[in-house]
Structure 1
Amino acid sequence: MGKLVYGVNVVEIGFDDRTLAHLSVVIIAKLRRRESFLFSWRDDSSVGDGRSSVWIDPSIPLHFKYFGSRPPSLNRAWVAALTATANSAQGLHLVPEPSDGDGAGGDDG
């Protein structure tokens, strides 16, 4: 399981590597444009099964730590769906992975 490590107080959020790879594409795209946004997720049952949110800002340290050594292929449709949530008033949150409708599969990068 990979981790998104955020901020000076070190908030560690666990995601499987495939999910983390898709989140990183969306987060990095927003930060490159110097856009701040809310990121919310559902907590694992081991930490209470609630919900958490952080304000993502370009000035706050961010680290993506993957468990595996090989990058997962990317589903363009999922990146687009996650980007749509990141651009909404509710901010970035996980949505189910759709099938990649263009039939091309994913990217390896």
Structure 2
Amino acid sequence: MGVLVYGSQGRTFDIEDRLLAHLRVVFMNKLRRNEPFMFHRAADAGTYSVWVHPAVPIVFQFSGSRPPTINRQWVETLMIEAGGANGLRVIPEPASADV
């Protein structure tokens, strides 16, 4: 289980390493283009929404020793979600896992 640390006050969100690796690619691409977006995630304590902006510090902390392979189809789908009116909602990983 990895951790997404967001903001100067260090708000943390537990996220499974495989999903976190894919979110890192999406966040990196959106923020590199200076495209802030809303990120929504359901958790045990409820649902949270975070406004992701280039000026806010983000740390992706992985618990595993090896990086997960990246499913390009999933990244593309998550990128489309992030660019939509409702923001980025995590959707299930498609079956095909391109590297």
Q: TM-score, normalised by structure 1?
A: 0.87
Query: Sequence identity of aligned pairs in percent?
Result: 46
Q: Secondary structure at the match of 2:48?
A: strand
> Which has more radius of gyration?
1
Cα distance per residue 1:24-45 (max 9 Å; x no partner): 000100000011110010012x
Amino acid at match of 2:75: V
Tell me which residue corresponds to 2:87: 91
Aligned CA RMSD, in angstroms, stands at 0.9
Counterpart secondary structure, 1:30 = helix
Q: Which residue of 1 aligns with 2:47?
A: 51
- Structure 1: distance between partners of 2:13 and 2:65: 19
- Partners of 1:99 and 1:28 lie apart in 2 by 24
Q: Which runs of 5+ in 1 are unaligned?
A: none
Give how far 1:106 is off: 3.0
* 2:8 aligned partner: 8
More strand by share: 2
TM-score, L = length of structure 2: 0.95
Aligned mate of 1:60, from 56, 60, 76: 56
Deviation string, structure 1 residues 48-92 (Cα, Å, up to 9, x no partner): 3x1101100000000000001100001111111111110101101
Q: Alpha-carbon deviation of 1:9?
A: 1.8
Q: Which residue of 1 aligns with 2:27?
A: 27
| Displacement of 1:11 | 1.1
